[in-house]
């Protein structure tokens, strides 16, 4: 329970002489949904206060955990709280493009005694930011409508999707996902509303159904290793998550749905090996995994199973094979240039790796090769 620093509405403003009141609650998280640092919150708090000072609005702001609360007293005939919230969000975005702000507010309250009750409601209701994303602010009118809704979402959604997946009705599912995405976006325009538990359960079941299907098909996407909250934060809410699942299913349908498991895996490996060959100097485990939307751990297992060596060992072998060809070929290419061409950390590191592998330095190998090279 949040304890207000000032417990009397009369303490919030200098004179409370203006006709309208508002409270703005902002929750700030990083792109993965983690709580931001206190220093960053303080910077945002100061920016909010400066913006209000510049707007000549009577106000009081304070931090509450990972939230910032702002109380305002103004005259709605000359001051638009909606426009102000837009400016506030832009100010926070200019401070950090990576972090996400979930802004909800009550507008044009006539009684300052409503402020604390409405503030407590918004503190609890800001959790809808997980589901609706941070691209728009939420009015208390919208949030009250969601909280009070008695609408129910289908209870058998996971079973229905699994049936359609097993029947290979991919186009039908993708069409349904498009409708789901629009329905979540339509919540802002007064469409059908659902309370938080309904939406959370529904989206979790959909995500679980796709996760289980891809696991059964021995096909892997990064989201399969993440919890539902991380996926929602990363994809900016339900609409973005549905778009992610739809895109994953489209990718699976286009490339792998008609291939047996062993053939799909081989296709994966062929693509991965081609990528390494084209990017030998810069290819790392994390870079390659990210390029193919895989986790590091899954790529390690896939590589060991199909190549018989781990990823790092394979990269080293390929770099040394390339080094041998370069040492045998272009006599003008220095050892330092070869080291850079294959992406070794330094010339000395390259020489140590080469000598450990072949028992001879690159320079000595080149001399021996030239002396014994057949005419």
| Contact assessment for residue 143 and residue 119, using Cβ atoms and an 8 Å cutoff | no
Q: List, for residues 204-251, the tens digit of each pLDDT value.
A: 999 999 998 888 777 788 888 889 999 999 999 999 999 999 999 988
Structural domains in the chain (count): 4
Highest mean pLDDT among 94-98, 217-221, 264-268, 276-280: 276-280
Please indicate, yes or no, if residue 41 is contained in any of the structural domains.
yes
| Contact assessment for residue 198 and residue 152, using Cβ atoms and an 8 Å cutoff | yes
Of 148, 183, 210, which residue is a domain's last? Answer: 148
> Which ranges constitute the DSSP H helices of the chain?
38-54, 81-95, 115-125, 128-132, 140-148, 157-166, 170-185, 196-216, 228-234, 238-255, 261-278, 285-291, 296-307, 311-328, 335-341, 347-358, 362-372
Of 287, 308, 329, which residue is a domain's last? Answer: 308
Report the distance separating Cα 285 and Cα 276, nearest Å.
10
- The DSSP secondary structure of 250-296, one letter per residue, reads HHHHHHTTTS-HHHHHHHHHHHHHHHHHHTTTT--HHHHHHHTT--H
The pLDDT of residue 268 is above 80: no
25, 120: one domain = yes
Mean pLDDT is lowest, of 36-45, 343-352, 365-374, for 365-374
Report the distance separating Cα 330 and Cα 347, nearest Å.
17
| Contact assessment for residue 142 and residue 131, using Cβ atoms and an 8 Å cutoff | no
31, 127: one domain = yes
The pLDDT of residue 375 is above 70: no
Q: List, for residues 130-179, the tens digit of each pLDDT value.
A: 999 988 899 999 999 999 999 888 888 888 898 888 878 888 999 999 99
Sign, CA dihedral 321-322-326-329, equals positive
Residues of the chain with pLDDT > 70, as a percent, come to 95
| Contact assessment for residue 57 and residue 24, using Cβ atoms and an 8 Å cutoff | no
Please indicate, yes or no, if residue 2 is contained in any of the structural domains.
no
Please indicate, yes or no, if residue 3 is contained in any of the structural domains.
no
Please indicate, yes or no, if residue 47 is contained in any of the structural domains.
yes
61, 113: one domain = yes
The pLDDT of residue 192 is above 80: no
297, 326: one domain = no
What is the reported pLDDT for 242?
A: 95
Nearest in space to 244 (alpha carbons), one of 197, 180, 317: 180
What is the reported pLDDT for 191?
A: 72
Of 127, 148, 169, which residue is a domain's last? Answer: 148
150: alpha, beta or left? (left if phi > 0; alpha if psi -120 to 50): alpha
What is the reported pLDDT for 34?
A: 86
Instruction: Calculate ∠ Cα 344-349-354, nearest 5°.
Output: 90
Please indicate, yes or no, if residue 4 is contained in any of the structural domains.
no
47, 118: one domain = yes
Report the distance separating Cα 118 and Cα 4, nearest Å.
13
What is the reported pLDDT for 92?
A: 86
Report the distance separating Cα 233 and Cα 32, nearest Å.
6
Please indicate, yes or no, if residue 69 is contained in any of the structural domains.
yes
Q: List, for residues 1-54, the tens digit of each pLDDT value.
A: 567 788 788 888 887 778 899 999 999 888 888 888 888 889 989 988 899 888
Q: What is the mean pLDDT of residues 108-126?
A: 91
Q: For residue 363, what is the domain's CATH number?
A: 1.10.10.60
37, 141: one domain = yes
Report the distance separating Cα 232 and Cα 203, nearest Å.
9
Q: What is the mean pLDDT of residues 260-269?
A: 58
What is the reported pLDDT for 2?
A: 63
The pLDDT of residue 257 is above 70: no
Average pLDDT of the residues of the chain:
86
Query: Domain residues for 232?
Result: 157-255
| Contact assessment for residue 29 and residue 35, using Cβ atoms and an 8 Å cutoff | yes
- List of residues 6+ apart from 375 with CB closer than 8 A: none
Mean pLDDT is lowest, of 169-173, 258-262, 263-267, 321-325, for 258-262
Q: For residue 62, what is the domain's CATH number?
A: 3.30.70.270
What is the reported pLDDT for 260?
A: 46
When pLDDT is cut at 50, 70 and 90, the band that residue 297 belongs to is confident
The pLDDT of residue 308 is above 80: no
14, 143: one domain = yes
301, 317: one domain = no
For the beta carbon of residue 230, count every other beta carbon within 10 angstroms. Answer: 14
When pLDDT is cut at 50, 70 and 90, the band that residue 373 belongs to is low
When pLDDT is cut at 50, 70 and 90, the band that residue 374 belongs to is low
58, 132: one domain = yes
Distance (Å) of CA 373 to CA 322, 368, 370: 18, 8, 5
């Amino acid at each position: 329970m949040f304890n207000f620093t000032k417990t009397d509405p009369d303490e919030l403003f200098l004179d409370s002489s203006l006709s309208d009141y508002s409270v703005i609650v902002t929750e700030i998280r990083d792109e993965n949904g983690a709580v931001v640092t206190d220093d960053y919150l303080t910077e945002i708090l100061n920016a909010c206060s400066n913006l209000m000072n510049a707007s000549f609005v009577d106000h009081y702001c304070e931090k509450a955990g990972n939230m910032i609360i702002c109380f305002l007293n103004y005259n709605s005939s000359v001051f638009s709280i909606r426009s102000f919230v837009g400016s506030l969000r832009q100010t926070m975005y200019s401070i950090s493009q990576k972090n996400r702000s979930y802004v909800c507010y009550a507008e044009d309250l006539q009684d300052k005694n409503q402020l604390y009750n409405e503030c407590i409601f918004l503190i609890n209701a800001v959790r809808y930011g997980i589901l609706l994303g941070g691209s728009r602010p939420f009015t208390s009118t919208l949030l009250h409508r969601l909280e009070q809704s008695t609408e129910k979402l289908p209870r058998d959604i996971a079973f229905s999707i699994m049936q359609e997946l097993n029947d290979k009705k991919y186009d039908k599912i993708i069409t349904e996902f498009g409708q789901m995405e629009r329905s979540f976006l339509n919540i802002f325009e007064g469409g059908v509303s659902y309370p938080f538990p309904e939406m959370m359960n529904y989206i979790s079941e959909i995500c679980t159904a796709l996760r289980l299907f891809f696991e059964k098909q021995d096909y892997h996407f990064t989201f399969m290793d993440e919890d539902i909250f991380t996926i929602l934060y990363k994809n900016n809410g339900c609409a973005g998550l549905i778009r992610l699942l739809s895109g994953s299913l489209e990718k699976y349908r286009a490339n792998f749905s008609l291939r047996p498991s062993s053939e799909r895996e081989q296709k994966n490996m062929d693509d991965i090996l081609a990528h390494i060959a084209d990017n030998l100097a810069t290819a790392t485990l994390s870079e390659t995994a990210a390029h193919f939307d895989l986790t590091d751990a899954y790529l390690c297992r896939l590589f060991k199973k199909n190549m018989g060596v781990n990823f790092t060992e394979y990269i080293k072998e390929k770099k040394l094979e390339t080094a041998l060809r370069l040492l045998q070929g272009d006599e003008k290419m220095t050892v330092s240039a070869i080291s850079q061409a294959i992406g070794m950390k330094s010339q000395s590191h390259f020489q140590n790796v080469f000598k450990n592998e072949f028992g001879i330095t690159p320079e000595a190998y080149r001399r021996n090769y030239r002396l014994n090279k057949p005419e």
